[in-house]
């Protein structure tokens, strides 16, 4: 049995004091949005409750799909690095960046450099190589292969799009094939949802078609993402007629009273072997009283729940590949 947890969109707060130079950029729009909206609902104690509950369930690995910070200032990036170090060891925690981690030009590189131990693949250089080719990353942990992809890049004001390049697509296919040949359960991490229509146009992922083609060519068992701050499940249809679960999760810092779901994490339990995998997903979320985390949903993705009488998988109409 192997268990792994997924959280996303940490948005560590509160915002540090910013200089006029730091605000003279896209950050001014994010600064205003934080004080008008996000600071009211993104709460540090909510994140603490979530992490405490995760620890109580003792997962083998924690996966984080981006947006650790808000405006990607140097102090935020440093504090997020310290937060990661307090959460767990790099070998047991995998991170991919989000659009907020690359909020302005140059921020992506600073974020990756500071968080590199939690990002680097098994065969990556010990130190960040100062180039854009660190992604995709590949980590093998027990029976799973974790393929980390990046859509993180700086965008103009009022835009939060992501980009998945042709080079990254080609290299992702090779990693997926390698993991498949070794009989591993392949989990792909990405920040933006690779589903058309899952995010507004100004927040969409550019390169959805090539990402979906990479998944179809290379093969994968599970795709995890963030960005939307929603608890969602889609299915990506492959050319062979299969379908890959694409699972999103609410912001790990979302308190009550907002228009987005309260903070949650997904806990996956994997058993079995290639061809007979069993994967159960339990969603644990913040209660209405905001003083505890409770199990609020269980879903079977592969096989059957060994704790119960086997039941057939529900019929789900997959979204078309694009």
- Proportion of the chain above pLDDT 90, given as a percent: 67
Cβ-Cβ contacts under 8 Å for 263 (sequence gap 6 or more): 46, 47, 49, 50, 250, 251, 252, 253, 254, 255, 285, 286
pLDDT in the model for residue 33: 59
φ, ψ of residue 173 to 5 degrees: the values are -55, -45
- 92 to 60, 86, 88, 95, 266: CA distances (angstroms): 7, 12, 7, 10, 16
Residue 5 scores a pLDDT above 70: yes
Gap between the Cα atoms of 167 and 229, Å rounded: 28
Residue 30 scores a pLDDT above 60: no
pLDDT in the model for residue 72: 83
Where residue 27 falls among pLDDT bands split at 50, 70, 90? low
Where residue 315 falls among pLDDT bands split at 50, 70, 90? very low
Residue 238 scores a pLDDT above 90: no
Q: How close are the terminal C-alpha atoms of the chain, in Å?
A: 34
Buried b (16+ CB within 10 A) or exposed e, 12-36: bbebeebeeebbebbbebbbeebee
Where residue 112 falls among pLDDT bands split at 50, 70, 90? very high
How many residues does the structure list for the chain? 322
pTM of full prediction above 0.75:
yes
Beta strand 278-286 with 264-271 is: antiparallel
Gap between the Cα atoms of 187 and 146, Å rounded: 5
pLDDT in the model for residue 14: 59
Look at domain 2-11+22-302 and name its CATH class: alpha beta
pLDDT in the model for residue 188: 98
The 10s digit of each residue's pLDDT in 283-309 is 999 999 989 999 999 999 998 655 444
Q: Which of 55-59, 286-290, 310-314 has the lowest mean pLDDT?
A: 310-314
The 10s digit of each residue's pLDDT in 209-228 is 999 999 999 999 999 999 99
- 97 to 38, 80, 311: CA distances (angstroms): 20, 12, 37
| Contact by Cβ (8 Å): 239, 216 | yes
Q: How many CB atoms lie within 10 A of CB 250?
A: 27
**Helix, coil or strand: residue 5:** strand
Gap between the Cα atoms of 287 and 292, Å rounded: 6
pLDDT in the model for residue 204: 96
- 22 to 19, 57, 107, 138, 215: CA distances (angstroms): 5, 40, 12, 34, 39
Q: What is the arrangement of strands in the sheet containing 232-237, beginning at the earlier edge strand?
A: 137-141, 144-148, 185-189, 222-225, 243-248, 232-237
| Contact by Cβ (8 Å): 194, 218 | no
pLDDT in the model for residue 159: 86
Where residue 202 falls among pLDDT bands split at 50, 70, 90? very high
Side-chain-side CA neighbours of residue 150 (13 Å): 25
The H or E element spanning position 187 is: strand 185-189
Gap between the Cα atoms of 304 and 145, Å rounded: 22
For the chain, the domains span 2-11+22-302
The 10s digit of each residue's pLDDT in 113-137 is 999 999 999 998 877 776 667 899 9
The full 3-state SS of 244-264, as one line of letters, equals EEEEECCCCCECCCCCCCCCE
pLDDT in the model for residue 255: 85
């Amino acid at each position: 049995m192997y268990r792994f947890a997924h959280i996303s969109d940490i948005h560590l707060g509160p915002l540090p004091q910013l200089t006029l130079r730091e605000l003279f950029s896209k950050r001014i729009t994010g600064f205003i949005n934080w004080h008008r909206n996000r600071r009211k609902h993104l709460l540090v104690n909510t994140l603490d409750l979530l992490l405490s509950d995760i620890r109580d369930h003792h997962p083998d690995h924690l996966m984080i799909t981006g947006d650790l910070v808000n405006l990607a200032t140097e102090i935020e990036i440093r504090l997020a690095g310290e937060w990661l170090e307090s959460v767990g060891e790099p070998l047991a925690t995998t991170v991919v960046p989000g659009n907020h981690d690359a909020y302005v030009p140059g921020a992506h590189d600073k974020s990756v450099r500071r968080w590199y131990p939690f990002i680097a693949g098994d065969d990556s250089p010990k130190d960040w190589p100062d180039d854009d080719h660190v992604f995709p990353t590949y980590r093998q942990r027990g029976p799973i292969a974790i393929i980390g992809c990046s859509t993180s890049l700086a965008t103009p004001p009022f835009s939060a799009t992501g980009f998945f390049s042709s080079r990254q697509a080609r290299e992702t296919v090779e990693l997926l094939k390698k993991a498949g040949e070794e009989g591993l359960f392949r989990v792909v991490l990405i920040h933006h949802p690779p589903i058309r229509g899952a995010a507004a146009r100004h927040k969409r992922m550019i390169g959805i078609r090539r990402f979906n083609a990479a998944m179809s060519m290379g093969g994968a068992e599970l795709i995890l993402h963030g960005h939307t701050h929603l608890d969602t499940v889609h299915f990506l249809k492959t050319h062979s007629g299969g379908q890959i679960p694409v699972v999103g999760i609410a912001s790990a810092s979302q308190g009550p009273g907002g228009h987005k779901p309260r903070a949650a994490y997904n806990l996956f339990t994997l058993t079995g072997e290639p061809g007979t995998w069993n994967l159960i997903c339990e969603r644990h979320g913040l209660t209405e009283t905001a003083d505890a985390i409770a199990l609020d949903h269980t879903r079977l993705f592969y096989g059957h729940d060994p704790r119960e009488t086997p039941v057939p998988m529900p019929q789900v109409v997959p979204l078309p590949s694009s």
